A and B are shown apart, each in its own frame.
Chain A
Amino acid sequence: MTPIVLAVTECLCLAIAAPAVVGYVRWLKARLQGRRGADFLQPYRDLRKTFAKGMIIADTTSWIFHLTPCVVVASTVAAAALVPVISASQPGDQLGDLFALMALLILGTIFLALGGLDPGTAFGGMGSSREMTVAALTEPTLAIAILSLALTAGSTSLGTITNTLLTTPANAIGPGHALALAAFLIAMLAETGRLPVDNPATHLELTMIHEAMILEYSGPYLALLEWAAALKLTLLLTLASNLFVPWGIATSLSAGALALGLAAVLAKLALLATLLAVLETRVAKLRLFRVPELLAVSFTLALLAATSSFFTR
Chain B
Amino acid sequence: MDALFSRLTMTGASAMLLLALVVMWRRHVPAYVTAFRTQSVVLAFVGAIVAWMGEVPELFLVAAIILGLKGWIVPRILAGMEARRPDDRGLRPLVNTEMSLLISGGLAVAAYELSRPLTEVVSLPTRSGLPIALALILVSLFIVVSRRQVIAQIVGFLMLENGVALLALLGAYGVPLVVELGVFLDVLLGVLVMQALVPGMEKTSAG
Residues in A lying within 8 Å of B, measured CB to CB = 170, 173-175, 178-179, 292-293, 295-297, 299-301, 303-304, 307-308, 310-312
Q: List chain A residues, Cβ under 8 A from B119.
A: 311
Q: B66 an interface residue at 8 Å Cβ cutoff?
A: no
Which residue of B is nearest A292, CB measured? B98
Query: Can you spell out 10 A-B residue pairs with CB atoms less than 8 angstroms apart?
Result: A175-B132, A292-B98, A293-B97, A303-B108, A304-B17, A304-B108, A307-B109, A307-B112, A311-B128, A312-B128
Q: B52 an interface residue at 8 Å Cβ cutoff?
A: no
Task: Report how far A296 CA is from B98 CA in the complex, Å.
Answer: 5
Q: List chain A residues, Cβ under 8 A from B140.
A: none
Task: Report how far A301 CA is from B18 CA in the complex, Å.
Answer: 8
Which residue of B is nearest A304, CB measured? B108
Question: How many whole Å from B170's CB to the nearest CB in chain A?
Answer: 14
Question: How many whole Å from A299's CB to the nearest CB in chain B?
Answer: 7
Contact between B17 and A293, CB atoms less than 8 A apart: no
- Return the contact of B112 from the options A292, A299, A311 (Cβ within 8 A): A311
Task: Report how far A311 CA is from B119 CA in the complex, Å.
Answer: 10
Task: Report how far A297 CA is from B102 CA in the complex, Å.
Answer: 8
Q: B3 an interface residue at 8 Å Cβ cutoff?
A: yes
Q: List chain A residues, Cβ under 8 A from B102.
A: 296, 299-300
Interface size classification for chain B: 20 to 34
Question: How many whole Å from B64's CB to the nearest CB in chain A?
Answer: 26
Q: B14 an interface residue at 8 Å Cβ cutoff?
A: yes
Q: List chain A residues, Cβ under 8 A from B14.
A: 175, 179, 304, 308
Which residues B91-143 have CB closer than 8 A to chain A?
A: 97-98, 101-102, 104-105, 108-109, 112, 116, 119, 128, 131-132
Q: List chain B residues, Cβ under 8 A from A308.
A: 10, 14, 112, 131-132
Contact bitstring B1-25, A, C-beta under 8 A = 1, else 0: 0010001001101110110010001
Question: How many whole Å from A141's CB to the nearest CB in chain B?
Answer: 11
Which residue of A is nearest B98, CB measured? A296
Contact between A300 and B104, CB atoms less than 8 A apart: yes
Which residue of A is nearest B135, CB measured? A304
Question: How many whole Å from A307's CB to the nearest CB in chain B?
Answer: 5
Task: Report how far A301 CA is from B21 CA in the complex, Å.
Answer: 10
Contact between B21 and A297, CB atoms less than 8 A apart: yes
Question: How many whole Å from A306's CB to the nearest CB in chain B?
Answer: 9
Task: Report how far A174 CA is from B8 CA in the complex, Å.
Answer: 7
Given contacts A296-B97, A297-B25, whether A311 and B116 have CB atoms under 8 Å apart is yes
Contact between A293 and B25, CB atoms less than 8 A apart: yes
In the complex, besides A173-B7, A299-B101, A307-B131, 13 extra interface pairs with C-beta distance below 8 angstroms are A173-B11, A175-B13, A178-B11, A179-B18, A292-B98, A295-B98, A299-B105, A300-B102, A300-B104, A304-B17, A307-B109, A311-B128, A312-B10
Q: List chain A residues, Cβ under 8 A from B7.
A: 170, 173-174
Which residue of B is nearest A175, CB measured? B14
The 3 A-B pairs of least Cβ separation, nearest first, read: A175-B14, A296-B101, A296-B98
Contact between B101 and A293, CB atoms less than 8 A apart: yes
Contact between B21 and A174, CB atoms less than 8 A apart: no
Which residue of B is nearest A312, CB measured? B128
Contact between B131 and A311, CB atoms less than 8 A apart: yes
Question: How many whole Å from B23's CB to the nearest CB in chain A?
Answer: 12
Contact between A174 and B11, CB atoms less than 8 A apart: yes
Task: Report how far A297 CA is from B104 CA in the complex, Å.
Answer: 10
Contact between B131 and A170, CB atoms less than 8 A apart: no
Q: List chain A residues, Cβ under 8 A from B116.
A: 311
Question: How many whole Å from A71's CB to the nearest CB in chain B?
Answer: 30
Given contacts A174-B10, A175-B10, A293-B97, whether A300 and B105 have CB atoms under 8 Å apart is yes
Task: Report how far A312 CA is from B97 CA in the complex, Å.
Answer: 29
Task: Report how far A39 CA is from B18 CA in the complex, Å.
Answer: 41
Task: Report how far A312 CA is from B17 CA in the complex, Å.
Answer: 17
Task: Report how far A160 CA is from B199 CA in the complex, Å.
Answer: 59
Q: List chain B residues, Cβ under 8 A from A310.
A: 112
Task: Report how far A170 CA is from B10 CA in the complex, Å.
Answer: 14
Question: How many whole Å from B63's CB to the nearest CB in chain A?
Answer: 21
Contact between A300 and B10, CB atoms less than 8 A apart: no
Between A299, A301, A303, the greatest number of chain B beta carbons within 10 A of the residue's beta carbon is seen for: A303
Q: List chain B residues, Cβ under 8 A from A293.
A: 25, 97-98, 101
